[in-house]
């Protein structure tokens, strides 16, 4: 429009205008839906607890196996976290981390503390009776003994890749005899990525999942 003159818009101009309007409407709708309604893709409790176990595993200095465990009480409160590593007060630079050696004393196995043991020992409550443990690997027979003695009621594990080993066979036998339920975690997403920079961008998640 020029003064009192008006020109008929061309077809292209009309299409451009429609596109702009549609884009604006879509953006407004997306923004509104993201800010006025709760998210549908939030982590459910089991996913959250298993993710905590996996995150704690990143603290492990073991070059071949990083395992984490998370203990949760009936109120869905975390009461213990642990990961595999050498005992407190023992210099892990002086102890072996190898999986194989001619002498077993030159491997990590006689020395390392498993994630389950550390999670129980790191408890921030009087005890862990009636609690559930989330752990990356099915517990070995030694950890099963600790789980039983600590009074845990359930074990949720992700991988059972050592299922056929004598240690795991003994572990299942002990847990069944003690009446402790164990089940394999079935993830709904393949990964959860933590992005520290996302906190600076309103509307973006601090973790992305697939």
Which residues belong to the active site? 116
What are the tens digits of pLDDT across the range 116-161? 999 999 999 999 999 999 999 999 999 999 999 999 999 999 999 9
Contact (CB, 8 A) for 58 and 66: yes
Contact (CB, 8 A) for 133 and 147: yes
What are the tens digits of pLDDT across the range 3-34? 444 444 454 443 444 343 334 333 333 443 45
Overall fold of domain 45-184: Cytidine Deaminase; domain 2 (3.40.140)
Indicate the domain borders of the chain: 1-37, 45-184
Token pair belonging to 83: 């990961």
Hey, how many other C-beta atoms are within 10 angstroms of the C-beta on 108? 20
């Amino acid at each position: 429009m020029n003064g009192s003159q008006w020109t008929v818009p061309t077809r292209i101009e009309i299409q451009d205008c429609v596109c702009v309007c549609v884009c604006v409407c879509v953006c407004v709708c997306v923004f509104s839906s993201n800010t006025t309604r709760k998210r549908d893709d939030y982590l459910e409790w089991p996913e959250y607890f298993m993710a905590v176990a996996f995150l704690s595993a990143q603290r492990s200095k073991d070059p071949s196996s990083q395992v984490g465990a998370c203990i949760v009480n009936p109120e869905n409160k975390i009461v213990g976290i642990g990961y595999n590593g050498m005992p407190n007060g023992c210099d892990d630079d002086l102890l072996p981390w190898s999986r194989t050696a001619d002498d077993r004393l030159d491997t990590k196995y006689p020395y390392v503390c498993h994630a389950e043991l550390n999670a129980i020992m790191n408890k921030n409550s009087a005890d862990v009776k009636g609690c559930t443990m989330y752990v990356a690997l099915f517990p070995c027979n030694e950890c099963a003994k600790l789980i039983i003695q600590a009074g845990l009621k359930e074990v949720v594990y992700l991988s059972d890749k050592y299922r056929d080993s004598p240690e795991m066979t003994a572990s299942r036998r002990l847990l069944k005899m003690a009446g402790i339920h164990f089940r394999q975690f079935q993830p709904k997403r393949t990964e959860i990525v933590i992005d520290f920079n996302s906190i600076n961008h309103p509307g973006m998640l601090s973790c992305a999942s697939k």
